[in-house]
Amino acid sequence: MARILPLPLMATLLFCGCARLSTQAGGPLAPEARLKAEADGIREDLEAFRERKFRELPRIVQLPASAKCSVWDSAAQIGWVARKGLEPSSSVDAIFQATGLIRPGGNASHQRERMDCVVVKAMFQSRSRRIVVFDDSTVDRRQSLAHEMVHALQSEKLNLDTMLRSRSEPDAFLGKLGALEGEADFVADRVVGAASSPGCVDPSASILWTLDRSIHAVPQLAETPPIVGLPVYSPNVLGQRLACLLYARWGAAGLDTLLNRPPRGSFQLIHPTEYLKDVHEVDWDTAWSGIGQLPAGWLPAGQMRIGEVRLAALPLTWDRNLAADALRGEGLGWRGDRIWMARDREGRAAYVWRMSFSNPEKATEFGRLWWRILSIRRDRNLPAFEKRRRRSMWFEPGRGTHLVCAKGSDVLVSEGFDSLFAIKIQKSAFPRPR
Ligand SMILES: [Zn+2]
């Protein structure tokens, strides 16, 4: 099946209009009693499906929908609100801005927080073992409740706080979140019999392009930058697909495998085959020394892996036609990347970005794509990418040198340094894969 993520799926994830508020027949019940009866019914089905019993059912409370944002914020102070970990530092925002992963002036942390208020439907707080649902007629409460109850069941086997805090990379965090959210969405759909459950869909790479399109089709999210929307939704959507595939093969034991061995990052989340074979992404020494000595006046300012999901934001942010070409079919062919950021005394940013792709053709394609995006970012007609030499370079007064070059299946991008340093790293500092 080639079709992935039809719109109804996203609608269910966000604001299901088909409010199945109660399946309890009979006379009117007080709201608390109705909630408890609903939870009891879900518990039975959930325990049967997961072949495991709750040691203790979490406390469930219902709050007014108008309190969503404030409850979400205060919950983050006292318990597990997993998505709060998505963009953990301002240095990450600085990297997104310098590379064009977000438009100038964009702030991923801030925009994600705004988005959270829109999309939150319910939450599970692991420390207080409390589920909060909201009195919101636009949300399928039974499905939200089931989703949070799966998290509660997960928390009896795993320490969710520890699992999510012991991350080394924002991209690795997406893998862990993918296991937790994916299982929760998949099991909740099965337990409540959601009609829109997508099943085990085709693991096509164009899933990121389709996911972005689905997010932007929701009016409240139309302005959400891809660097924010994709990481928020990919753990649920891609994780659910992975959970579905593992369940189809091994039943409940497959879901246990997913939780005990979460994807290493977004690459394994997108490519179930690579997850099953535990294929690792290409990586390099994280120290600046692997790149070469910084020019005088420059200091290291952080490094990270962008990862396959976030890299898709680059074409999606600047040109959706270019993105459609780049992300459909096999997609970018990402196999690894690491970016090193530096700042000078005036606070100007510069970076070196190493990337690896599935083959030399994909590397050249990315080089050309990056160069075209640069000309859009700078609003300049730059000479075409030098396809034969597989490189292009442009010195921009006040902004330093922009360089992209491909070598084998690898690509090196650098922006902001002087030409001398750019040429030096191009010639000598393709650091060895570790
Ligand atoms: Zn969840």
Asked whether the CA dihedral 74, 75, 77, 81 is positive or negative, the reply is: negative
**What pLDDT, on the 0 to 100 scale, is given for residue 81?**
58
**Same structural domain, 107 and 73:** yes
Q: Are 251 and 389 in contact (CB under 8 A)?
A: no
13 Cα: distance to centroid of ligand 1 (angstroms): 11
**Same structural domain, 272 and 292:** no
| pLDDT tier for residue 18 given thresholds of 50, 70 and 90 | very low
The answer as to whether 326 is a domain residue is yes
Query: Mean pLDDT, the chain, as a whole number?
Result: 85
**Same structural domain, 179 and 74:** yes
304 Cα: distance to centroid of ligand 1 (angstroms): 25
124 Cα: distance to centroid of ligand 1 (angstroms): 8
378 Cα: distance to centroid of ligand 1 (angstroms): 39
Of 276, 301, 329, the residue that ends a domain is: 276
CA-CA distance, 93 to 249, in Å (whole number)? 40
**Same structural domain, 214 and 117:** yes
Angle at 245 between CA 147 and CA 273, to 5 degrees: 125
**What pLDDT, on the 0 to 100 scale, is given for residue 316?**
96
25 Cα: distance to centroid of ligand 1 (angstroms): 28
Of 253, 276, 299, the residue that ends a domain is: 276
Edge-to-edge order in the sheet of strand 298-304: 298-304, 334-344, 349-357, 410-417, 400-407, 391-396
| Total length of the chain | 434
pLDDT for 120 beyond 90: no
The answer as to whether 194 is a domain residue is yes
The answer as to whether 433 is a domain residue is no
234 Cα: distance to centroid of ligand 1 (angstroms): 12
**What pLDDT, on the 0 to 100 scale, is given for residue 15?**
26
Residues forming a β-bridge with 350:
342
More confident residue, 430 or 145: 145
**What pLDDT, on the 0 to 100 scale, is given for residue 78?**
59
**What pLDDT, on the 0 to 100 scale, is given for residue 131?**
92
pLDDT-wise least confident of 175-179, 210-214, 401-405, 426-430: 426-430
**Same structural domain, 100 and 187:** yes
Distances (CA, A) of 399 to 60, 170, 220, 343: 54, 28, 36, 12
**What pLDDT, on the 0 to 100 scale, is given for residue 106?**
81
121 Cα: distance to centroid of ligand 1 (angstroms): 9
Neighbouring residues of 385: CB distance < 8 A, sequence distance ≥ 6: 367, 368, 371, 372, 392, 404
268-287 residue pLDDT tens: 999 999 999 999 999 987 77
**What pLDDT, on the 0 to 100 scale, is given for residue 430?**
59
279 Cα: distance to centroid of ligand 1 (angstroms): 26
CA-CA distance, 319 to 212, in Å (whole number)? 13
Edge-to-edge order in the sheet of strand 122-125: 59-64, 130-135, 122-125
pLDDT-wise least confident of 113-117, 252-256, 260-264, 303-307: 113-117
The answer as to whether 434 is a domain residue is no
**Same structural domain, 211 and 332:** no
Q: What percent of the chain has pLDDT over 90?
A: 58
The answer as to whether 298 is a domain residue is yes
CA-CA distance, 161 to 132, in Å (whole number)? 18
3 Cα: distance to centroid of ligand 1 (angstroms): 25
**Same structural domain, 246 and 345:** no
Mapping DSSP to helix (H, G, I), strand (E, B) and coil, where does residue 16 land?
A: coil
**Same structural domain, 176 and 267:** yes
More confident residue, 417 or 7: 417
128-155 residue pLDDT tens: 888 999 888 777 889 999 999 999 999 9
CA-CA distance, 39 to 132, in Å (whole number)? 12
pLDDT (mean) for 299-317: 94
216 Cα: distance to centroid of ligand 1 (angstroms): 21
**Same structural domain, 205 and 170:** yes
- Quote the pTM value: 0.88
148 Cα: distance to centroid of ligand 1 (angstroms): 6
Q: Are 89 and 40 in contact (CB under 8 A)?
A: no
CA-CA distance, 194 to 197, in Å (whole number)? 6
72 Cα: distance to centroid of ligand 1 (angstroms): 13
**Same structural domain, 238 and 300:** no
184 Cα: distance to centroid of ligand 1 (angstroms): 6
95 Cα: distance to centroid of ligand 1 (angstroms): 28
Q: Are 411 and 360 in contact (CB under 8 A)?
A: no
pLDDT-wise least confident of 83-97, 138-152, 262-276, 287-301: 83-97
326 Cα: distance to centroid of ligand 1 (angstroms): 30
The answer as to whether 134 is a domain residue is yes
Q: What percent of the chain has pLDDT over 70?
A: 86
pLDDT (mean) for 106-133: 82
10 Cα: distance to centroid of ligand 1 (angstroms): 15
The answer as to whether 352 is a domain residue is yes
**Same structural domain, 312 and 225:** no
**What pLDDT, on the 0 to 100 scale, is given for residue 22?**
31
Of 243, 276, 309, the residue that ends a domain is: 276
pLDDT-wise least confident of 5-14, 133-142, 186-195: 5-14
pLDDT for 26 beyond 50: no
| pLDDT tier for residue 335 given thresholds of 50, 70 and 90 | very high
200-243 residue pLDDT tens: 766 566 889 989 998 888 888 888 999 999 998 999 999 999 99
**What pLDDT, on the 0 to 100 scale, is given for residue 74?**
77
CA-CA distance, 415 to 395, in Å (whole number)? 9
Q: Are 281 and 265 in contact (CB under 8 A)?
A: yes
pLDDT for 346 beyond 50: yes
Q: Which two tokens stand for residue 233?
A: 């939704």
pLDDT (mean) for 189-202: 72
Highest mean pLDDT among 101-115, 274-288, 359-373: 359-373
**What pLDDT, on the 0 to 100 scale, is given for residue 9?**
33
27 Cα: distance to centroid of ligand 1 (angstroms): 32
**What pLDDT, on the 0 to 100 scale, is given for residue 4?**
27
pLDDT (mean) for 288-310: 88
Residue 187's domain comprises 7-276
Neighbouring residues of 236: CB distance < 8 A, sequence distance ≥ 6: 13, 181, 182, 185
**Same structural domain, 383 and 419:** yes
- In this structure, what CATH number is given to the domain that contains residue 365? 3.40.1000
Number of domains in the chain: 2
